[in-house]
Structure 1
Amino acid sequence: MPIHSLGYVRLDSTDLEAWKTFAGDFLGLMPVADEEDESLRYRMDDYPARLVVSRGSESKMTALGLEVLNERDMRRIASEVASTGIKVVEGTDAESDQRRVTGFVRFDDPGGNPIELFYGPILDHVPVRLPTVSAFVTGDMGMGHVIVTGENGRALKEFYTDVLGFYERNTMGGRDRTVWFLSSNDRHHTIGVTSAPGPGRLIHLMLEGASLDDVGLALDRAEKLGIPLMNTLGKHTNDHMVSFYVYSPERYAIEFGFDGLRVEGEQPTYEITEGAFWGHKFTPPPA
């Protein structure tokens, strides 16, 4: 598999104070200080910060970091991306140091989503200390999963499978509103892609706790902190994740889950007609 896992997500936000409450107090990620700028950096395991939120003039995703095994794989994949006509730019040493990686390249996928392929995370060997979560499920499955959009969802799917080598797991939504769930490892899905008007954007991020208690306690924190609920506790039909969803400060759909399926290698794909076995009752975003 050319891509190892989802390594990090970088965001711009107009409200860093809201993210301090959301990422630290609610999600239970470990804040990491950095004297270079005022960006918020959060660890969830032995890797460097996997979520970075910087102050920006508008709220948007600035990088979806996909980890590869080594420099050789990064350059090989970058060459394949460039062969499709997509411009690939190598990150500078200073940018790599800021991300705490040995090296990376950046490009936009066919939907316009900013992608970074990186290798060699720089470990500081300081144990992660999570304030309210026992542990997150990461390791060989990476940070979690995301869903992104583009004007042409099928073109996105073909790019991630044909060029980046992702497995197809399943679809939902029928022929007119298809969502493709794709994976680069044994997590049921690493990324989902679908069509939506306008430039590509992040619409969903999932983090997986190590226990059902982690989910229940996070649900309690959401109520205590006034984090708006998007979907009630439920169990998905595709990855069997027991989870709930909330709205982030920018109205991203943030899922906090437990016990998602591990799927070994490539398996036959399938269509789901219901998103949940039970629960996941939807609530519109607050006005």
Structure 2
Amino acid sequence: MAIECLGYVIVQTDKREEWETYLCKVVGAMKGDAPDAGADHYRIDQRPFRFRIVDAGGDGELLIAAAYRIDSRDSLDALAGRLEAAGHAVRWGGAEEAKIRGVDAFFSVADPAGNGLEFYAGDSVSDEPFVSPIGVAGFVTGELGMGHAVFAAPEFDKSYKFFNEIVGFHPTDLPRFHFLGTPDDPGIPFAFMHADNGRHHSIAFGQLPPMPGGCVHLMLEMTTLEDVKACYARMSEFGVAESASIGKHTNDKVTSFYMKTPSGFDMEVGHDGLVIDPANWETTSHDTPSEWGHEWAWMKMMVGAGA
């Protein structure tokens, strides 16, 4: 079995218009054609959608699922069997749901922290070329997938066993980050895990309390640093809250910044991420999250409050 990549995400929201402005005018995604009412689809490449934004109906802001593509239907069935045998409830999607997603078959499941996931087999390609409405040159996708998703894992060891031993993600970097840098800072364990492709990590999680919107952040990688800088400027132009300034990560070497999405979780937009050899990678353990930059808004608030 192979986990090929992160294929798409589904967000439940009461702020569809804000999401359209955010994705099209700030990020540079292209609005696609959603086949069902009550939803919007957005593209960053040849796939019919990477973001599916659906009406919440007053039920709140939530990342319903980060969806990962599996290499075959047999492998998908086997994964569902392993999850069920380990006590994780699996819900298979119907034919119409699969058609909407542009896949052959899929199921949904929650991780030990309740974060929403989908796994699917088969995929689709649009006949219409991707053209960013604001001129973004492109996003790094293809066999690397759309980017990565990061989640909170209050019971870290349970989440690690779920993603590594049951699902089949592989550890890339297993650090303990000391964000505060004080002698009494115990640090926070994180797991950065790769699928069976060269992206440094397609999923990650840290021992954190539940996050707003059911996600810590999603990451998109642009093909040029100039487009990242331009997106950073548009963030201010459109009044989007900055979560972290531009910086360079220690483990995946990406130069990026973070901003709030309309649903409360963060979006990381970056360039030039490390591409690994997934078959021969030896797990690392970095002490610091960033080589430079990435000044976090929450840290600035603590300093301003005299913490």
Paired residue for 1:270, among 262, 265, 284? Answer: 284
Partner Cα separation in structure 1 for residue 209 and residue 242 of structure 2: 25
Q: Deviations over 1:233-279 (max 9, x none)?
A: 11100000011111111221211100000010142222222111111
- Tell me the equivalent position of 2:80: 78
Q: Is the 8 A contact 1:112 1:150 kept in 2?
A: no
TM-score by length of 1: 0.94
Question: What pairs up with 1:152-191 in 2 under 5 angstroms?
Answer: 152-173=155-176, 177-184=188-195, 185-191=197-203
Q: Give the aligned CA root-mean-square deviation in angstroms.
A: 2.0
Supply the distance in 1 between the matched residues of 2:91 and 2:297 (Cα, whole angstroms): 41
Partner-residue secondary structure (3-state), 1:10? strand
Change (3 A) 1:48 1:33: closer
> Counterparts in 2 of 1:9-20, with a 5 A limit?
9-20=9-20
Query: Contact 1:90 / 1:106 at 8 angstroms: preserved in 2?
Result: yes
1:152-201 deviation digits (Å, cap 9, x = unpaired):
12211111111121110112335752111111021011111122335993
The reply on whether 1:279 has 2:279 as its aligned counterpart is no
1:237 is matched with which residue? 250
CA distance in 2, matches of 1:83, 1:254: 34
Deviations 1:16-62, CA, capped at 9 Å, x for gaps? 12111111111111101335213121011111211111121200111
Paired residue for 2:145, among 139, 142, 145? 142
Taking the aligned partners of 2:289 and 2:209, their CA distance within structure 1 comes to 23
Q: Distance in 1 between matches of 2:84 and 2:297?
A: 42
The reply on whether 1:124 has 2:126 as its aligned counterpart is: yes
In structure 1, what is the equivalent of residue 48 of structure 2? Answer: 48
Higher mean displacement: 91-100 or 265-274: 265-274
* Equivalent in 208, 212, 219 of residue 206 of structure 1: 219
How many residue pairs get aligned? The number is 287
Tell me the distance in 2 between the aligned counterparts of 1:238 and 1:215. 19
- CA contact 1:150–1:201 (8 Å) conserved in 2: no
Q: What is the rounded CA distance, in whole Å, between the counterparts of 1:126 and 1:14 in structure 2?
A: 29
Distance in 2 of aligned mates of 1:126 and 1:119:
22
Q: Which residue of 1 aligns with 2:110?
A: 108
Contact 2:66 2:149 in 1 (8 A): no
Letter in 1 for 2:21: T
Query: Which one-letter code corresponds to 2:291 in the other structure?
Result: F
How far apart, in 2, do the equivalents of 1:176 and 1:85 lie? 31
Segment drifting more, 75-84 vs 120-129:
120-129
Q: Give 1:249's match in structure 2, choosing from 259, 262, 286.
A: 262
Residue type of the alignment partner of 2:282: P
| Residue segments in structure 1 that go unaligned for 5+ positions in a row | none
CA contact (8 A) 2:61 2:264 kept: no
1:133 paired residue number = 136
CA contact (8 A) 2:246 2:256 kept: yes
**8 Å contact 2:16–2:54 — kept in the other structure?**
yes
Q: Aligned partners of 1:246 and 1:151: how far apart in 2?
A: 23
More strand, by proportion: 1
